[in-house]
DNA sequence: TAAAAATACTCCATAGGTATTTTAT
DNA sequence: ATAAAATACCTATGGAGTATTTTTA
């Protein structure tokens, strides 16, 4: 049976595509690493790497092998962490990721609460879009992410936290939706301002506005909700704002009127996602409750 | 990082609850195994086993650890098999499981076809009920199972093969359903004969007969479809027979009348299930097509 | 006290280091 | 010609064996 050492060397080799540098990363000499790779190839009876002067290429089988090797290494690393912490995820380091449309509004309240409740926990933060978060979660660079559900991924588990309803932000005095209730169908593509591509909030908003003609949307999107509200404040259009953002601004935004939607109010579901192989559910549950409590607190 | 050797020793120790016998299984001496376990405990900073005169007990953390260790070992073993076979599942050994309500009817046709199509494949068969099959699949004792879908299991993938409609088997000359079309709602609990508990076919039949009063069902069920048809033939009641079974009997059963159900015909979905970590999809697909073709052939 | 695990020590296999050769561009 | 990997050879770490002690029911 292969050793974890061989898997580690092989992973490093696949990343560096260079025996010498891979060996350096593994803190061994090049022949030591070469020998282990050779041994792996002998054990598997398969050529994993194409050696050539200009670096190294993996064979197709090698690509498959490294993907599986990384899976095994991640599972093993997760096991070690879990057991070392007596199954308590909330001690030691937690690498937490969050969407840019969530992090700035939830974390300022959450992090102090977490520090109070789990004093032995050290949180490393990362803010990225859904796709990046999920990739990093999968390959073990993150432990837990806060994002919008649903997430369909076989290696991940999720836990819904709360629904975050949308408001329609219109310029103050614009006269739109004078009844104070917005209707998704009445939003016009020419007016709609959105985040740039890749933000899931953009897709969610478009989902709500099924009938909007995508071809008539403005080409360039904003990169943050703050920018977006500035645009709205200056009369350049309307946009969707999640309640989470609105709350963090104290319930109102200068020169912008926030119009609630008609029932059923469109919303995004905020939730946690993590690798199946990482933590005990009890820990995620504890954290989930803290987050929910944390959000409820803001209602005061 | 832990070595695979340590994981193997630990797994053996957890199974034998005895250092000496675990060591024997691993073909090393007791002190060698003791040292590796100690090393593991040191690396993890956790006590994994309670040593006592009368054998060994795992601590709660140890239980968690061994479960995870087995997961890692299975993933690694699957990786080795896949790569060794160049991703071709259908060479070497395939440990195949099937439900007792499928195996006797499908396999006599399938196995010769498989032998013809995949000459380098050696098939090891196991026949069990759904629960057992899934457990053995998960812990690596089986590679692939044929059963009734749906199967909801995070570590497993599935592939539907075909729908297998039910017939109602009634005693010849009983006068039931003279129109030649059965209606699920007209089946009476007093008449209904079923397989014993644990057979998924039993549950599926009860699902079709939503209105049947479960309390009035006979206490003891048959252990095979053959027994069941004997009971029906002797006028003791009626039962559900899957088409797969009927076909294998040449389309008719002595002294039993087979009544098709009204549309939509109730059916069970037969499918394949396997660990996500094991094979390439292409191989499962190849086998799936063979099975489907194999069943279609019988229609002649 | 007796069975089982831990410890002490010794040995050897194998991983790793150094020096060198081979290979491919 | 030269950078990179393979090979050869030596060293040393650590895994495993044998003998023995310690533990505990």
What is the per-residue DSSP string for B111-127? Answer: HHHHHHH-TTEEEEEEE
Please give the pLDDT value at position A278: 67
Q: Residue B1 CA to D5 C1' — how many Å?
A: 27
- Residue B146's pLDDT band (cuts 50, 70, 90): very high
In CATH terms, the fold of domain B4-84 is Arc Repressor Mutant, subunit A (1.10.10)
Q: Which residue has the higher pLDDT, B273 or B92?
A: B273
Task: Test A82 with B71 for CB contact under 8 angstroms.
Answer: no
Q: What is the mean pLDDT of chain B?
A: 85
Q: Which CATH class is domain A163-267?
A: alpha beta
Q: Quick one: CA dihedral B281, B282, B288, B289, positive or negative?
A: positive
B261: which strand partners?
B182
Q: Do domains A92-162+270-297 and A163-267 have the same CATH topology?
A: yes
d(C-alpha B239, C-alpha B129), whole Å: 19
**Spacing of B16 CA from C14 C1' in Å:** 29
Q: Which CATH superfamily is domain B92-149+274-297 in?
A: Periplasmic binding protein-like II (3.40.190.10)
A87 shares contact with chain B (CB less than 8 Å): yes
Which residues of chain A neighbour B154 with C-beta distances below 8 Å?
Answer: 154, 157, 276
B16 in contact with nucleic chain C (CB within 7 A): no
Highest mean pLDDT among B97-106, B131-140, B243-252, B254-263: B254-263
Q: In the prediction, which pLDDT does B63 show?
A: 85
Counting residues of chain B whose pLDDT is more than 70, the rounded percentage is: 95
Average of per-residue pLDDT across B6-28: 89
CB contact under 8 A, B2 and A80: yes
Contact A76 B72 (CB under 8 A): yes
Tell me which protein residue sits closest to nucleotide C23, measuring alpha carbon to C1'.
Answer: A53
CATH number given to A92-162+270-297 = 3.40.190.10
Q: What is the sign of the dihedral through the CA atoms of B256, B260, B262 and B267?
A: positive
pLDDT at B53: 61
Looking at residue B54, what is its pLDDT? 63
Q: What SS3 state is found at B56? A: strand
Which residues partner with A170 through β-bridges? Answer: A257
The per-residue pLDDT for B190 is 80
Task: Report which DSSP code applies to A176.
Answer: S
**Band of residue B235 on the pLDDT scale cut at 50, 70, 90:** confident
d(CA B145, CA B130): 9
Note whether A54 contacts B: Cβ–Cβ < 8 A: no
Asked if the model's pLDDT at residue B300 lies above 60, the reply is no
pLDDT at res. A279: 59
> Which member of A69, A75, A83 has the closest CB to residue B44?
A83
Residues in B 14-53 whose C-beta is less than 7 A from nucleic strand D are: 27-29, 31-32, 35-36, 39, 52-53
**Shortest Cα distance, chain B CAs vs residue A156, angstroms:** 9
Distance from residue B71 (CA) to nucleotide D14 (C1'), in Å?
27
Neighbours of A153 (CB within 10 A): 14
Helix (H) or strand (E) holding B164: strand B156-171
- To the nearest whole percent, how much of chain B has pLDDT over 90? 19
Tell if the CB–CB gap between B61 and A86 is shorter than 8 Å.
yes
Asked if A20 CB < 7 A from strand D, the reply is yes
| Alpha-carbon torsion angle B29, B35, B37, B38, nearest 10 | 160
Q: Where are the domains of chain A?
A: 4-84, 92-162+270-297, 163-267
Q: Is the pLDDT of residue B91 over 80?
A: no
> For B96-135, what is each residue's pLDDT tens digit?
899 888 887 888 788 888 888 887 788 888 888 888 898 8
Q: What are the distances in angstroms from CA B172 to CA B169, B188, B193, B228, B241?
A: 9, 18, 16, 15, 15
Q: What pLDDT, on the 0 to 100 scale, is given for residue A15?
A: 87
Is 60 exceeded by the pLDDT of residue B299? no
Confidence at residue B161, expressed as pLDDT on a 0 to 100 scale = 93
User: From CA B246, how far away is CA B266, in angstroms rounded?
Assistant: 15
Residue B278 has pLDDT above 70, yes or no: no
| Neighbouring C-beta atoms of residue B84, cutoff 10 Å | 16
- The b/e string for B95-124 (b: 16+ C-beta within 10 A; e otherwise) is bbbbbebbbbbbbebbeeebeeebeebebe
- Interface contacts A/B by beta carbons within 8 Å: 91
Model pTM? 0.72
Q: A155 beta carbon < 7 A from strand C?
A: no
A36 touches strand D (CB under 7 A): no
Q: Contact at 8 Å (CB) between A49 and A62? A: yes
pLDDT along chain A (300 residues), means of 10: 91 88 88 89 84 72 88 91 76 83 83 84 85 84 89 84 92 81 81 85 87 80 85 89 84 87 90 78 84 74
Chain B touched by A79 (CB under 8 Å): yes
Enter the tokens of residue A18.
């260079």
Q: Does the C-beta of B30 come within 7 A of strand C?
A: yes
Asked whether residue B51 carries a pLDDT value surpassing 60, the answer given is: yes
């Amino acid at each position: 049976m292969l050793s974890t050492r061989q898997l580690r060397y092989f992973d490093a080799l696949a990343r560096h595509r260079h025996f010498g540098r891979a060996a350096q990363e593994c803190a061994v000499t090049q022949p030591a690493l070469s020998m282990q790779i050779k041994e792996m190839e002998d054990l598997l009876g398969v050529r994993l790497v194409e050696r050539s002067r200009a670096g190294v290429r993996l064979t197709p089988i090698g690509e498959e092998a490294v993907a599986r090797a990384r899976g095994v290494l991640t599972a093993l690393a997760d096991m070690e962490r879990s057991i070392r912490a007596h199954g308590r995820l909330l001690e030691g380091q937690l690498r937490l990721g969050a969407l840019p449309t969530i992090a700035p509004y939830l974390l300022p309240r959450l992090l102090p609460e977490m520090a109070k409740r789990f004093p032995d926990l050290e949180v490393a933060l990362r803010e990225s879009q859904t796709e990046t978060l999920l990739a990093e979660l999968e390959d073990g660079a993150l432990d837990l992410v806060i994002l919008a559900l649903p997430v369909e991924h076989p290696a991940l588990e999720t836990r819904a936290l709360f629904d975050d309803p949308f408001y329609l932000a219109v310029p103050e005095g614009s006269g739109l939706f004078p009844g104070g209730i917005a209707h998704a169908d009445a939003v016009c593509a020419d007016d709609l301002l959105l985040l740039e591509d890749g933000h899931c909030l953009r897709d969610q908003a478009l989902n709500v506005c099924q009938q909007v003609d995508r071809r008539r949307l403005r080409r360039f999107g904003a990169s943050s909700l703050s920018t977006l509200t500035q645009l709205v404040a200056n009369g350049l259009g309307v946009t969707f704002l999640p309640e989470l953002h609105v709350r963090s601004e104290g319930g109102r935004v200068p020169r912008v009127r926030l119009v609630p939607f008609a029932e059923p109010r469109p919303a995004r579901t905020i939730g946690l996602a993590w690798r199946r192989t990482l933590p005990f559910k009890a820990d995620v549950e504890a954290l989930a409750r803290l987050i929910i409590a944390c959000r409820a607190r803001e209602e005061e």
